[in-house]
Amino acid sequence: MSKKSAYIITKPLQYINATNIPDTNKKDCFLIDCFLGFTQFKDSIEQNSNYWKEIQAYKTSLNALYYIFLHKNRYNKIFIDSDYGIYKTFIFLFLSPLKIYTYEEGYGSYRILKEAIRFGDKVYRFFGGNSWIGSNPFTVGIFLYYPDIFKKYITGNKKEVYKFKRSLYDNLKLLPEINSLLKDLDLNIYANKDVLIYLSSWNLNEKIYECLDDYPNYIKILKPHPHLVQLDNPLVSKFDFIVDNIIPSEIILTKLIDICKDIVVVHENSSSVLYIGNMNYTDINISIKKTKNDVISNLFEDIKNELA
C-alpha cells in the first residue's frame, strides 16, 4: 500500500496554503475544530473538494498527531503549521521515521518567536530546537511563499526551504470549497463605492474608533478573526456589515479591491495583507504591539516590494 501525507489544519488560511504544496502522495486532511464556523467549513470541503483521500476532524493538533502515531504505517509525511515546543518534539520522536514539514501560516512563519526564558523553551533548545517555526530537530523542510525573505530574517536556518506551487490568490481560484463559502454574500453591492474594512484580531481594538471617524462617508465592514467569539461589543454597531468569520479575509480583500472605488484596510498585523502586494489600497495597522521599526512592519514592506 502506498504511503499518504497527513495535513494538519487549524484555520482557513492554512487550508488554502496546505492545498498549494507540491506533493504527489495521496493526502489526508486533519481539520482542527478551533474556529467559528468550523462545521460549515468542513461541510464545504467534503461537498466540493476531491483533493483529499480522507477528511477527519479533531479538537486539537495533538489529538490528530496521536491518531497519526497509531496509524503511522499509512503515512510517510506530515505537514503542520507549527513544530515549536518540547511537547511536539516528544511526539515527533515517536512518529519517526515520518518526514515532518512546516508550512506558512502567516507572518509568524518569518520571525523569531521568543527568547528561551521559560523552562520548557530552554529544554526545547537543549534538544536542538530553535526560536522559529521549522527549527524542530525532527523537521526536514519548510514551505513558504517568500523563501528569500525568510532567509533574510532567519539567518540560522539549516533546513530545506521550499516554495509553494502558486501564489495564494492563484491557488484560491482553484478551490471551489473555499469560493462556495461566498455563495450567500453579494459583494457587487460595493462596486464603485468607498469601503473601509477592519480585519480584527482575537479581540476588537478600540483604536478602530479613530479610523472610523477619519472615513465618515465610507461603507464600513467588519471581518472578525476566525477565533473571535465576542460579537456583543458596542464597537460592532459602528459597522454597516459583518462578514462571517468563516470566510477567509484573503478572498474578501481581493474581491473588494477589484470592484471598490477606494478601499481602506485596517488591521492588527493581519497575515492577510502579506498577500495583497502592490494592489491599490490604504493600509492602516492599529496593533498595540506595533512600533515604527519593528520586524513586522519591515516584513510587510519587504513582501510588498517583492510583489511589486
The domain segmentation of the chain, as residue ranges, is 4-172, 187-307
Note the pLDDT of residue 201: 84
Cell of 166: 502558486
Domains 4-172 and 187-307 fall in the same CATH topology: yes
Overall average pLDDT of the 222-229 stretch: 78
Mean pLDDT of 169-197: 89
Phi and psi at residue 125, to the nearest 5°: -65, -40
The long-range contacts involving 114-118, CB below 8 angstroms and separated by at least 24 positions, are none
Judged against a pLDDT cut of 70, whether residue 228 lies above it is answered with: no
pLDDT at 158: 92
What pLDDT, on the 0 to 100 scale, is given for residue 249?
Answer: 87
Label residue 64 exposed, middle or buried (CB < 10 Å: 0-12, 13-18, 19+). Answer: buried
> Biggest alpha carbon distance in the chain?
62
In this prediction, residue 54 carries a pLDDT of 97
Cβ atoms of 226 and 245 closer than 8 Å: yes
Measured CA to CA, the distance from residue 54 to residue 124 in angstroms comes to 33
Asked if residue 292 has pLDDT above 50, the reply is no
Mean pLDDT of the chain: 88
- CATH 3.40.50.11110 for domain 187-307, yes or no, is yes
Beta strands 241-242 and 160-163 are unpaired
User: Side chain identity at 36, as an amino acid letter?
Assistant: L
Q: What CATH architecture is 4-172? A: 3-Layer(aba) Sandwich (3.40)
CA distance 145 to 135: 18
Q: Are 243 and 251 contacting, i.e. CB atoms less than 8 angstroms apart?
A: no
Chain mean position to CA 243 = 18
